[in-house]
Each structure stands twice: as C-alpha cells, then as structure tokens.
Chain A
Amino acid sequence: MLKTYAYPKYQFRLPTGAGGDTVPRYPVVVVGAGPVGMAAAIDLAQQGVPVVILDDDDTVSVGSRGVCYAKRALEVLDRLGVGDPVVDKGVSWNVGRTFFREEEVYNFNLKPNADQKRPGMINLQQYYLEEYEINRLAQFDSVELCWKNKVVGVEPQDDKVTVKVQTPDGFYTLETDWLIVADGARSPIRSMLNLDIDGKIFMDRFLIADVVMEAEFPPERWFWFDPPFHPGQSVLLHRQSDNCWRIDFQLGWQADPEEEKKPEKVIPRIKAMLGDDRPFELEWVSVYTFQCRRMTDFRHGRVFFAGDCAHQVSPFGARGANSGIQDTDNLVWKLKLVMDGKAPPSLLDTYSRERTWGADENLMNSTRSTDFITPKSKTSLTFRNATLGLARKHPFARALVNSGRLSVPCFYTDSRLNTADTDAFGGDMVPGAAMDDASIRVNGEDGWLLDHVGNQFIALVYAPQAALAGADALLSDPIGVTTIAVVPAGGKALPGMMAFEDVNGTFAKAYDATPGSVHLLRPDQHVTARWRTFDAAAIRAAVARATCNS
C-alpha cells in the first residue's frame, strides 16, 4: 500500500545545550510536531522567539487523517507563510452534495458570491500539510525541530517548567519558561499532569480508505444517507490531491475493526460504490471511532494545551486540525506580549476562555451532525428519514439536513477583550469576529486585505476626510497601533498615510463602513472594537482592554 507518497525520515537531534552537564533553559518549548504544534512554532519564530520543538516520531502523519482545511485555517496558514504550497497542492472546493438513497436531496456552496482569496475548503492529505510546515520551519535559524525526542516527564513550577526527555541516546532534562503542549488526542502530557478531559464516545465505527484512481467526479463533497451500495449506513467521498480519493463508510458499532480493514472486505465495498470495473488501488485503510470532549482549561500556569490534546470532535465538519490551528493563532500573540512584559499574565487566561468557547461551538456543531448522521433511537431515525424525504421538495427540510456543518470560525462575542459597541453598526464584523477578507489594491497592486493585516494592532479608518489627530502617537505606544486608511475605488488617501483601495466595495459592505469609521484589529485578524469616528484615546483604551492592561 501507499503508492503516491514517500514518507520522509527526519534525523534525530538534541536541542542545543541539551544532554550535557548543565540543564539548558529555553524561552518556549513546543511538544508535538503535528499540524498544531508546528503552527505555534512558526508563529513564534515569525515574532522572533527562538523555539525548540520535541516530537517522539521521525516522520509526518501516517495516513491522510485530516483532509479538509477550511478558509479560516488557510488564512492563518497564509499569515504563517504556508498557505500557498497547501492551496497549490490541495483540491479547492465549495460545493457539497447530499444524497438520500438514490437521489440528491440537498447541496450547499460554502462561498456564495464571495470576494475572498481563499476557497471555502481545500482537501489535502495531512502529511502534505505537515511537510510544508516543516519546510517553513527550516527557514528559521531560531527553530530547533528535534525528532525522536519523547517527553516522559513534565514538572510545572512557578517560574519555569522542567521537562524530562527520552531519546535514542538516553535521557536529558531541560527547563523552559513556557511549554506549549500539542501532543495529540492521547496526550501523554495531559495524563502526566493528571488533567481531565470530559465528553463522550460515539458508539459507531467508520472505515476510511484512501483510494488511488482516475475518476471524473467533480471536486465536491459527496455524502450519502442509506445508499443502495451501502444500505442503512452513510458514505462520504472526498477528492484529495494526486488522484487520491478518500472514502468513509459508516460501519456501525458491532463491526469488527480488524476484520473490516482487510483488503478482501474493503475492495468489494469500494467496487459496489463505484459501480463499474474502473481500476483502483488501495493506499491506506483505517477503522476509527471518535470522541467529542474537551479539557476544562487550556492553560495551566506556564503550560498551554492546543489542538487535539485540548479538544476532540467528530470528523463530520472537519473541525479538528482547523480548530487547532485557530488555537495557536489565538495564543501566540498573547504569549509574545507577556514574554515582552507588555501585558500581564492574565492575558493568557483569555486564550483558554476564547478557545474553550470556540471548542464548545465546534463540539456542539459536530455532535449535532453526528446525531443526525447516526440517529440513536427509532424516533430519531424516523425524524431523520422524514427530513430527508421532505427535502426533495421543501426548502425548509433541506436546511435541516445535517451531513456535517463544515468548519467556520466562532465569534468571540462574549470575550472580555472586546470593547462593546457604542455606535450602531450592521453586518457580522462585530467585536470578536474573525475578519472577512476583501480584494484591495495597495500601492497600485492587487491583493487581499488579510494578506496585509495581522501580527500587530491595526486601526482601519474608512475614507478619512481630515488628518487623524493622535495617529502618530498611537504608533509609538508600547503596543503600537498602525493606522491605515481604506478608501473607496478610485479614492485617495490622506498624504503620508498608507491606504487600501476597496476596489469592489466589499470591505465597505462587510464592515458596514462609513466615512471616518474605524475598525480596530487584533494581531490574529479579529475585530476587537469599532467606532463611527476616529478617537485616539478610545483606540488606546481598546488596545489596553484587548491586552488585559486595563
């Protein structure tokens, strides 16, 4: 098996200073070189923080695992300099179709009339994503990616964390100011620290197969309820890159995983589904069950949990790696401010507050999808099938069909970091919203809003009419704020001020911008405050609030 991908093998190494007579001390150590740990490391490296990453393995994800990467995760990957290889290699798609028995009953388009750089979703085998992250990390001298370094002990103290590591050369101990744990669903570190993770296991099993074949199916997500080729269960089909197709078959709880994985069991299932004699090769097969659960708190003093170790969701909705990448997007700028002494440690608690809020939304949506896809009682099944039956004809029933609500970012509407609106605004770009993208022109070049913001606080001022009093002073604050104008198509900026031209009017519409209105943006591309007029003092107060400095 495995014809399209050759697994790289990475060399074992020790972090600089480790393994000798003295215990080395680092500013930040990341445990786990999965998609989430590496996203954290890239972000830190971009902020100029040296990072040590420890991983017990020496290669990328075995098997395709995470397949669907959503627009918001792609935007974060863009900020991290990994978006292009991921999107270039991946299969972009926006349309999902749902079938009940033989008929299509419902379809959705993730990106209706959108003026955004990234598609609603791409499909890409997880090992490619990880490989591209590894390549990106190699561009920083300040990053030490240490394979075959297995963390076997963690001792949190008030002023540091002591970590014990096992390698092919024996054991060593290190100290770090901060520890970011991204060691996956089984999280040995969570267990070492005796921390609970609560939730439930779903009583169902799924067979996943990566199949290599030539096929002309469009790049769409196809989901079947009760299809003739797999009666009574559901099936999901996704196209990945390299002509590799991912098929998920629901098997039911009684299925024997070892038996179901055998090619003589898998191949007939795929043949029945394809319905013809098209040649194909099995690349990877696995049977999985899943859990929906999360840790109570993602921060424990100097130790942070991110990704699967902190929360796990059912795969219907692709909210696993996508939400993990959003975790690190939220954490790293806060950690950097605290490391620099520009914000109090309480800012780090808001990482947990905001991301547990996000995790709860992800858990709710993926649990609802799972309940629809695998009804738990006869009555639930009857309602499910009645919905699917009505969906052919009635739009309201189509809207109830839930074959997976695909990953979208949550709105941190209740975050203490937001400044509440005092002026009236329409639209969705409320304080706490992840920013909507828009095409813009900057210095005569076409580009995208989200490629030009992030990594710092920015005040976007729409069509400023007069010089903005106090804007210069904001820039030289300890936590500086850059003021940028957004001007309508053909409009001019004020002298000396950087301007984004809102070529299609997308910004004005999405942000409900009027001449003089201001949107204050966090380093992670979330809106944190907005006003109808520019007031440097109000901006300064909102930045203080967004960094727990007030």
Chain B
Amino acid sequence: MSLITTANFYQTGKRYFRDFSPNDDFYEMLIETHRDLTDEQSALVNAKLILLLANHIGDMDVLAEAMKAAREDV
C-alpha cells in the first residue's frame, strides 16, 4: 500500500450529492476540534492527533511517505 493522495473522505451510510461535501465536512470537524484553544493547546492537540492517526495507519512505509511529503517545501 502506498500513501493515498487523492480525495478519500467519506462517512459510512451518508449520501453525498456534491463532491465537495465530504471534504468540507472533514475540514469543519478539524477546525472545530481546535475551537477556543490557545496556540499551545492546539499544537498539543495536533501532536496527539498525529500519533493516534499514525498508529491507526500502522504501515511504516506509508508513514514515511507521508512524513516526507509533509516536510517538502518547508
């Protein structure tokens, strides 16, 4: 398996009539997660989020690819 970089958000059982909807649903959820947090708190939440998701993915090759893509141009 290699890193998925095409649009991949969905919610089981939810019918989407517009292509942009699942993406926007995700983005809103992400921003909401940080609502009312200080910058330090947000940084901590982001770090925890990465750890949780990384463990969920598990596949070290995929993670390495993602880490590389994230560092690019920074």
Contact = CB atoms under 8 A, between A and B. Distances in A.
A377 B32 CA distance: 11
B55 to A, nearest CB: 21
A395 B5 contact: yes
A222 B43 CA distance: 33
A368 B28 contact: yes
B18 A383 contact: no
A400 interface: yes
Contacts of B42: 377-379
Nearest to B20: A405
A372 B6 contact: no
User: Interface range on chain B: under 10, 10 to 19, 20 to 34, or 35 or more?
Assistant: 20 to 34
Contacts of A396: 4-8
Nearest to B26: A400
B69 interface: yes
B37 A379 contact: yes
B6 A395 contact: yes
Contacts of A387: 27
Contacts of A390: 69
A378 B46 CA distance: 13
User: Interface range on chain A: under 10, 10 to 19, 20 to 34, or 35 or more?
Assistant: 20 to 34
Interface in A362-377: 365, 368, 371-372, 377
Nearest to B45: A379
Contacts of A393: 5, 69, 72
A393 B5 CA distance: 9
Nearest to A371: B31
Contacts of A371: 28, 31
B39 A379 contact: yes
B27 A368 contact: yes
A395 B30 contact: no
Nearest to B41: A379
Contacts of B18: 405, 408
Given A395-B7, A396-B4, A399-B19, A405 B24 contact: yes
A402 interface: yes
A281 interface: no
B34 to A, nearest CB: 5
Interface string B29-62: 0110010010100110010000000000000000
Contacts of B17: 411, 428, 433
7 contacts: A368-B24, A372-B27, A377-B34, A379-B43, A393-B72, A405-B20, A405-B24
Interface of A: 365, 368, 371-372, 377-380, 383, 387, 389-390, 393-396, 399-400, 402, 405, 408, 411, 428, 433
